[in-house]
Amino acid sequence: MAPEELVARALKARANAYVPYSKFPVGAALLTADGEVFTGCNVENASYGLTVCAERVAVFSAIARGQRLFKALAVAADTEDYISPCGACRQVLAEFGGDMKVYLADRHGDFRETTVAEMLPAAFSL
C-alpha cells in the first residue's frame, strides 16, 4: 500500500475522534504485514489519564484480531505541521518493531517518513 493511501485512511479515522476536552482530533492507520489496515482515533475521558491515543487504538485493535506483524503506521491530526506519537505510543510501537515505517501527516495529507527506532532510539525492552 502506498504511503499516501495509509495517510488518507488516518485522515478519515481522525473524523471519528472523541475529543470534547482538547478539541485535538487524531487519526491513525496501521498496515499489517499481510496488507490489512486497522484504524484508530483518540478517545478522551473526563478523567484525562484514561484518554487513549489514536496510535494505541489502532495497535490494540490489530492485536485483538490476532495481528502481530506491522509494516507501517500513519498518524494525522488537524494541524498545519506534522504531528508525532507521544512517548507511550512510541514505546507500544517499539514492542512490535523499530524498523516499522511511520508517516507523520498534517491536515492536508502532506507527510514525512520516519521509523519507530528513529523516534525512540533507546526503547525499553526485556
Q: Active-site residues: which are they?
A: 55
Flag whether 86 is marked binding. Answer: yes
Measured between its terminal Cα atoms, the distance across the chain in Å is 32
Flag whether 125 is marked binding. Answer: no
Flag whether 44 is marked binding. Answer: yes
Collect all residues with Cβ–Cβ distance below 8 Å to 103 and sequence separation of at least 6.
Answer: 3, 6, 7, 10, 72, 73, 74, 75, 111, 112, 113
Flag whether 42 is marked binding. Answer: yes
Flag whether 48 is marked binding. Answer: yes
**Strand 70-77 and strand 26-32: pairing?**
antiparallel
Flag whether 103 is marked binding. Answer: no
AA identity, residue 31: L
In the numeric block, the cell 478539541 is attached to 23
Flag whether 46 is marked binding. Answer: yes
* Annotated binding-site ranges for substrate: 42-48
Per the annotation, binding residues are 42-48, 53, 86, 89
Question: Which residue numbers belong to the known binding site for Zn(2+)?
Answer: 53, 86, 89
